[in-house]
Amino acid sequence: MTQAPLLRQITDYANRANPYPLYAELRKTPVLQEEDGGPFVISTYWDIQSLLHDPRISSDASNLTAHGGDELPEQEEETALPPSFLRLDPPEHDRLRRMTNRPFGPPHSPRRVHAMRDELDGIISDLIAGFGDADRIDVVDQFSYPFPVTVICRLLGVPREDEARFHSWADTLAAGLDPAPGDDLTERNRVTREARMQLGMYLAGLVEERRKAPGDDMLSELVTSHGPDGPMTTMEVLSTAALLLIAGHETTVNLITNGMLTLLRHPEVLQRLRDDPRLAVGIVEELLRYEPPVQLVPQRTCIADIEVRGVTIPKGSSIWLVLAAGNRDPERFEDPERFDPDRKDIQHLGFGSGIHSCFGAPLARLEAQLALTALARRLDNPRLVEDPPPYRQNAVLRGPRHLNITFDGLRPQ
C-alpha cells in the first residue's frame, strides 16, 4: 500500500462509517511514510503505546520541521490564545496540568467528579423528559450533545445561555484538528484563528468577572488559586479554559453517540444493560476500545531519531498514531472485532496514554455510564432509522453527525 492513497483513505469522509477494514490493512505495514517526506503512520498497539510514553516524542508544534510541516506553529502564534498544555512538553506541560488538576481531581479535589453524580442524573432526566410524546429523536441534537455541554458549562461556570456561541467555535476548532490532505489549509487556518480569537475574547470577559467576584466554579479556582506552582497567568487561564470547554464535550458527545449506536446494533447487550445498570462500566470501557471517539493523534513530532520495527524515524518528523487501529490489534486483543462488554483484558488506547492521557477521563466515563444506562432503561424498543448514520467529516474525532432513532414511548423513571 502506498502512502499517498493511504493518507487520503484515512481522512476520506467515505471511510468514516467503517474505517476498521482500512485500519486492518494499515497494521500489515506498521510503520508507513509517503515518499515525499510526509508523516509516519503508526498503527499497531504496542508501538503506539511505546511512543506515547517516549520522551523523544514531542507535542509542541514548534518542533515541527519541513518533515511534517502542517502550518500549526503559524496558526497558533497568530491567535489570541497560546497553546494549551495539551500542545506543550515538560516541564511546562507538567506545571500547567498540575495546576489545572488541583480543582478537578486527586489529590486536592478527590471527590469532585463523584460529587456530580446526582447533578448529572438530573440533567439526563430533564433531557429525556424533553423528548415529550415524540416517537422519534435525533440522539445527537437532543441528548448526547446538550448533556456534556451543560455539564462542562456548570463545571467551569460558563453561563448556559452562551452555549450556542461556543458551539460554533467548538465545531470550527475540532474541524481544525482534521489533517485532511486536500483541504485549503490557508483558509482553514484563517477560520480556526478567528474562532480561537473570538473564544479567547469571550473567556477573557468571564475571567475578569471571576477575578472581581469568584464563585464556586472551576474557572474561579483557576483564576484565584495560588498553590505550590504559583498562580496561572491570564493567558494560561484562557488557554486552559478553552481546552477544557472544547475537549470537555467534543469527545464525550462522540462516546455517548457511538455507544448508543453500538448498543442498538447489539440488542442483547442493550437488554442486559436495561436489566443490570452495573454493566455500564464494562460497556463504556469496551466502547473506548471498540469505537473510540478519538481515532488518531496526528500532531506529534520526533525530537530525536527513533527506531520503530527497524525503521528509523528522523528527528523533526511528524508522526500519526492511529489509536483506533491499535485498539483492534489482534496481537494485543483476542477477537478484537467483537464487541464484548465482558472482556477482561481491556487496556485500551481510548484515552491515550502517558503524560498526555485524557485529563477529563473520569468525568467522561461517568457521563457515558449514566447516559447510556438512562437511555437503555427509559426508551421502549428503540430502533435505528438508518444504519450507518451520517458521520462528521473529521478523521480525528469520529462520531455520527446525527443518530435518528424511533421508539415506542418512554418507560417510567
Nearest to 199 by CA among 234, 172, 161: 172
Residues 352-409: pLDDT tens digits? 999 999 989 999 999 999 999 999 999 999 999 999 999 988 888 999 999 999 999 9
**C-alpha–C-alpha distance, residues 373 and 377, integer Å:** 6
Residues 166-181: pLDDT tens digits? 777 877 777 767 766 4
Count other Cβ atoms within 10 Å, centred on residue 4: 13
**C-alpha–C-alpha distance, residues 404 and 378, integer Å:** 16
Predicted local distance difference test score (pLDDT) of residue 80: 58
What sign does the dihedral 303-308-314-319 (CA atoms) show? negative
Predicted local distance difference test score (pLDDT) of residue 15: 77
User: Is the separation of the CB atoms in 402 and 141 below 8 Å?
Assistant: yes
In sequence order, the β-bridge partners of residue 66 are none
Residues 24-52: pLDDT tens digits? 999 999 998 866 668 899 999 999 999 99
**This prediction's pTM:** 0.91
What sign does the dihedral 51-84-100-159 (CA atoms) show? negative
Q: Quick one: 345 exposed, middle or buried, by C-beta within 10 A (0-12, 13-18, 19+)?
A: exposed
Average pLDDT, whole number, for the chain? 88
SS3 of 292, please?
A: coil
Compute the average pLDDT of residues 118-137.
96
Task: Tell me the CB-side half-sphere exposure of residue 303, using CA atoms within 13 A.
Answer: 13
- Tell me, what DSSP letter sits at residue 102? T
Calculate the CA dihedral of residues 272, 273, 279, 283 and round it to 10 degrees. Answer: 100
Of 155-164, 194-203, 226-235, the one with minimum mean pLDDT is: 155-164
Residues 258-317: pLDDT tens digits? 999 999 999 999 999 999 999 999 999 999 999 999 999 988 999 999 999 999 999 999
CA angle 145, 150, 156 (to 5 degrees): 130
Cα end-to-end span (Å), the chain: 53
Predicted local distance difference test score (pLDDT) of residue 308: 96
Backbone φ, ψ for residue 318 (5° rounding):
-85, 140
